[in-house]
Amino acid sequence: MLLGTMAGGAADCQFWETWLGTQCRLHELRNHERISVSAASKMLSNLVYQYKGMGLSMGTMICGVTPKEGPTIYYVDSDGTRLKGDLFCVGSGQTFAYGVLDSNYKWDMSVEDALYLGKRSILAAAHRDAYSGGSINLFHVTEQGWVYHGNHDVGPLFWEIKQQEGSFNNVEA
Amino acid sequence: MDIVLGIRTKDSVIIATSKAFTRGISILKDSDDKTRTLNDYNVLAFTGESGDTTQFAEYIQANIQLFNMRENTEMNSKAIASFIRQELAKSIRSRKPFQVQTILGGMNKGEEPFLSMIDYLGTRVDMPYVAHGYAAFYTMSLLDHHYTKDDTLDDGLKLLVMCNDELNKRMPIDFKGLNVKVVDKDGVRAIDFDEFTAAYKASL
């Protein structure tokens, strides 16, 4: 089961990622096999490339775990870029999230630590970027599919983390 | 997309491309490969508009492989260069041109090493050393000065070390190092340029 993230134009992302889900299901029916992350991401990137220059705005990450590829993430955006990588931050607040993520990321970190780091990175962006915030949705993607790890409202979360970690010292309690 | 350069030696062709993939103010990846291997003895390097680059390169790759399947023989470098040139020449006057600059390096069996650059307008020029973009501003004069027709692969790689040093010294951006491909009588292969550079500098 694949997971797609959405940054940029909400409608464009929602519409075309739903379409992608349909195409992936059709692949399964036709080929009696789960689609690879590589193929799924390429279907999306080839589709958006056809609309290049016409105003689509999308920054997405297609994530999944398959037997032949292992855990895989592809970054796909609306100008037709498709990149495989271990780590991406996308959106207006990406730079803020990169800061926290890059300084604490380890290839062999535990799932628990990774979930926390993901949440903490988004919080960092939500705090500094005017166009990011609201709440954080956490997912862990495994071979069986995605596991939802809750919706976290940034409002109270910020004060919890500030107290727990002793960070955000530039903000008055 | 940034550094793309090629050096042709007596017995090989060297293609070097930068590893950084930058979008806006973030370097999204530091291990990007800006080349596609077209067949056993030819490699295409590219730079330009994101999306257009990979789509064009993969289109060319597919066509070269189709030729191989149909004709049961590999297309040679000159023919590939002519094909790529015509595709770009058709593209420039189309509704949406491919904004892609390419460098083709190849050495088919029994033939001399071949290096060519074809730009987005369909301008093709076959040269002993080539570069696209800002890389050219720094490296062409170096290569004009130090290149000789009798250079071997090793000499070519040493020239590349010189180019890399100059680019690191003067270019205002960090391009995260070079991905280096070599084409010689044994075909296309990637080489560990960092290892070569370290070994060469240690021996000086």
Q: Do B28 and A80 touch (CB under 8 A)?
A: no
Helix (H, G, I), strand (E, B) or coil at A12: helix
Q: How many helices (H) and strands (E) does chain A have?
A: 5, 7
> What's the burial of A156, exposed, middle or buried (CB within 10 Å: 0-12/13-18/19+)?
exposed
Q: Is A125 a residue whose pLDDT tops 70?
A: yes
| Residue of B29, B32, B34, B91 to mutate when probing chain A, most A C-beta within 10 A | B29
CB A136 within 8 A of CB A154: yes
Question: Would you tell me how many other CB atoms lie within 10 Å of the CB of residue B60?
Answer: 22
Compute the average pLDDT of residues A82-88: 96
CB B28 to CB A83 under 8 A?
yes
Please list the residues that pair with B48 across neighbouring strands: B100
Task: Please judge whether B21 and A52 are an interchain contact, meaning their C-beta atoms are less than 8 angstroms apart.
Answer: no
pLDDT at A108 over 70: yes
Give the A window 99-158 contacts with B, CB below 8 Å: none
CB of B117 within 8 A of CB of B102? yes
> What's the pLDDT at A157?
97
**Residue A141 falls in which region: left (phi positive, over 0), alpha (psi -120 to 50) or beta:** beta
Query: Cα separation of A37 and A42, whole Å?
Result: 8
User: Is the Cβ pair A80, B50 closer than 8 Å?
Assistant: yes
Residue B1: per-residue pLDDT:
57
CB within 8 Å: A52 and B54:
no
Binding-site residues on chain B for chain A (CB distance < 8 A): 21, 23, 25-26, 28-29, 32, 49-52, 54-55, 96
What token pair was written down for A82? Answer: 């498709």
Q: Can you tell me the ipTM of this complex?
A: 0.88
Task: Mark which residues 61-80 of A lie under 8 Å from B by CB.
Answer: 75, 77, 79-80
The beta-carbon neighbor of A83 closest among B29, B49, B96 is B29
Q: Å from B59 to nearest chain A CA? A: 12
- By Cβ distance, the residue of B25, B28, B51 closest to A75 is B28
**For chain A, percent of residues with pLDDT exceeding 90:** 99
Residue in B119, B118, B120 with CA at minimum distance from that of residue B104: B118
User: Are A1 and A139 a contacting pair, CB within 8 Å?
Assistant: no
Residue A52 has pLDDT above 70, yes or no: yes
- Give CA A36 to chain center in angstroms: 17
Is A98 in CB contact (< 8 Å) with chain B? yes
Whether chain B has a CB inside 8 Å of the CB on A49: the answer is yes
Total residue count of chain A as it appears in this document: 173
Distance CA A84, CA A82 (A): 7
Where do we find the tokens 């060319």?
B60
* Confidence bin at A35 (pLDDT 50/70/90): very high
Q: Are B21 and B27 in contact (CB under 8 A)?
A: yes
* Closest-CA distance of chain B to residue A131, Å: 17
Tell me what pLDDT residue B2 has.
87
Residues 6+ apart with CB under 8 A from A91: A7, A8, A59, A125, A132
Q: Is A81 on the interface with B (CB under 8 A)?
A: yes
Q: How confident is the model over A1-15, as pLDDT tens digits?
A: 899 999 999 999 999
Q: For residue A173, what pLDDT is reported?
A: 84
- Spell B83-106 as b/e; 16+ CB within 10 A means b: bbbebbeebeeeeebbbbbbbbbb
Which positions in chain B touch A53 (Cβ < 8 Å)?
96
Question: Contacts of residue B21 in chain A, CB cutoff 8 Å?
Answer: 83
Q: Note the pTM of the prediction, 2 decimals.
A: 0.91
Q: How far is A80 from chain B (nearest CA, A)?
A: 4
Q: Are B195 and B203 in contact (CB under 8 A)?
A: no
Q: What residue spans of A32-152 are helical by DSSP H?
A: 37-50, 94-104, 111-128
| CB within 8 Å of B186: residues ≥ 6 apart | none
Residue with tokens 């930068």, as numbered in its chain: B18
Alpha-carbon distance A45 to nearest alpha carbon in chain B (angstroms): 9
> What DSSP designation does A52 have?
T
Q: Given an 8 Å threshold on Cβ–Cβ distance, is A49 in contact with B32?
A: no
Compare CB distances from A98 to B26, B29, B50 and report the shortest one's residue.
Answer: B26
Mutation target vs B (from A76, A79, A86, A121; most B CBs, 10 A cutoff)? A79
Does the pLDDT value for residue B186 go beyond 60?
yes
Instruction: For B57-79, write each residue's pLDDT tens digit.
Output: 999 999 999 999 999 999 999 99
pLDDT of B93 reads: 98
HEC sequence for chain B = CCCEEEEECCCCEEEEEECCEEECCEEEECCCCCEEEEECCEEEEEEECCCHHHHHHHHHHHHHHHHHHHHCCCCCHHHHHHHHHHHHHHHHCCCCCCCEEEEEEECCCCCCCEEEEECCCCCEEECCEEEECHHHHHHHHHHHHHCCCCCCHHHHHHHHHHHHHHHHHHCCCCCCCEEEEEEECCEEEEECHHHHHHHHHHHC
B41–chain A nearest CA distance, Å: 26
